[in-house]
DNA sequence: ATACCTAGTTACTTTTAGGAAACCATTTGA
DNA sequence: TCAAATGGTTTCCTAAAAGTAACTAGGTAT
């Protein structure tokens, strides 16, 4: 019988994926990468379709993973600023690579299926 | 008012993510990257927890995206071999980068929270 | 005749992710 | 006295992803 390798350390890829999957995490990260610091409400305005709940939860997960930093000003009304943490900046090259792979992949799919590949996609 | 940038082309990162998210896609991809070609049943044995349904659906999506190739032998009982497509091999560097980032990230989390960071994680 | 093999499919259930809307605390300004 | 502002939380609900288990085709071995 064939000796099949283990797909080892694939859980560690999952670790990376967990950071960036979630419907809103990539867009949040790109905003923070481009803006240095943003208040909660600025993020809300920048991503109008997101709900407070989702914005909060996604930011909390990113904060737990030390990707973003949360700075609370003790004042009323509250002021909270989010920014990429020093460590979080290390994620940037990966995000950029993924985005460019995605861009090229869209072109590849277009070559394969044509511009209107939405129907085929549905059938899967 | 501050001019907030758009987080542009973030949808194209999502394109890349769509390829590799899905509970089983990373491990399937690593197996195929390491083994050149595998039958359906070999993949099943290599990933014992996966169900036929999930294995089929994940492979179909990868096939649609031209990442894996599916070769059917016209015989009974059926024989189907899966392998990375030539195009699919281009995904390898990205997957490897993600995995090493994940590896380092695990170490980073350990430094932050200690080895037993599972409880904290739960609270998020 | 019957059981077994592979590579699936189908119908149904459970689990998880995400969304909607209401609520909260605290201080300033009208 | 009351509304507005900010950064949330909470409860409830829906939709999507994943899991379970039974079923299929069709040729081969017993």
Encode pLDDT of B43-80 as tens digits: 999 999 999 999 999 999 999 999 999 999 999 999 99
Tokens coding A106: 């869209």
Structure pTM?
A: 0.91
Q: Is residue A123 part of a domain?
A: no
Query: What's B90's domain CATH number?
Result: 1.10.10.10
Q: State the average pLDDT over residues A16-32.
A: 91
Q: How confident is the model at residue A14 (pLDDT cuts 50, 70, 90)?
A: confident
Q: What mean pLDDT value characterizes chain B?
A: 88
Q: Is residue B1 part of a domain?
A: no
Quick one: pLDDT at residue B77? 95
Indicate the angle between helix axes A92-113 and A25-35, nearest 10 degrees. 130
Q: Is residue A4 part of a domain?
A: no
Task: Say yes or no: Cβ of B22 under 7 A from any atom of strand D.
Answer: yes
Chain B closest CA to A58's CA: distance in Å?
Answer: 10
Q: Is residue A122 part of a domain?
A: no
Q: Residues 37..66 of B with a Cβ closer than 8 Å to A: which?
A: 38, 42, 45-47, 60-61, 64-66
Q: Which of residues 85-124 of B touch strand D (CB under 7 A)?
A: none
Q: Is residue A93 part of a domain?
A: yes
* Nearest one of A73, A93, A70 to A83, comparing CA atoms: A70
- Which residues in chain B are closer than 8 Å to A64, comparing Cβ atoms? 120-121, 124
Q: Is residue B4 part of a domain?
A: no
Between A14 and B104, the higher pLDDT residue: B104
pLDDT in tens, A84-114: 999 999 999 999 999 999 999 999 999 999 8
Number of domains making up chain A: 1
Q: Is residue B91 part of a domain?
A: yes
Q: Flag whether pLDDT at A16 surpasses 70.
A: yes
Range of the domain at B82: 9-114
Residue B32 contacts residue B82 (beta carbons within 8 Å): yes
- Say how far A51 CA is from D12 C1', in Å: 16
Q: Cα(A96)–Cα(B16) distance, rounded to whole angstroms?
A: 11
């Amino acid at each position: 019988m064939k000796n099949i390798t283990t797909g080892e350390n694939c859980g560690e890829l999952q670790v990376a994926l967990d950071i960036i999957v979630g419907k809103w995490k990539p867009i949040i990260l790109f905003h923070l990468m481009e803006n240095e610091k943003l208040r909660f409400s600025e993020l809300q305005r920048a991503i109008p379709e997101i709900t407070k709940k989702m914005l909060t939860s996604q930011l909390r997960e990113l904060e737990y993973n030390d990707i973003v930093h949360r700075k609370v000003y003790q004042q009323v009304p509250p002021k909270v600023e989010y920014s990429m943490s020093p460590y979080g900046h290390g994620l940037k090259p990966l995000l950029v690579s993924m985005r460019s792979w995605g861009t090229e992949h869209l072109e590849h799919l277009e070559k394969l299926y044509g511009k209107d590949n939405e129907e085929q996609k549905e059938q899967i």
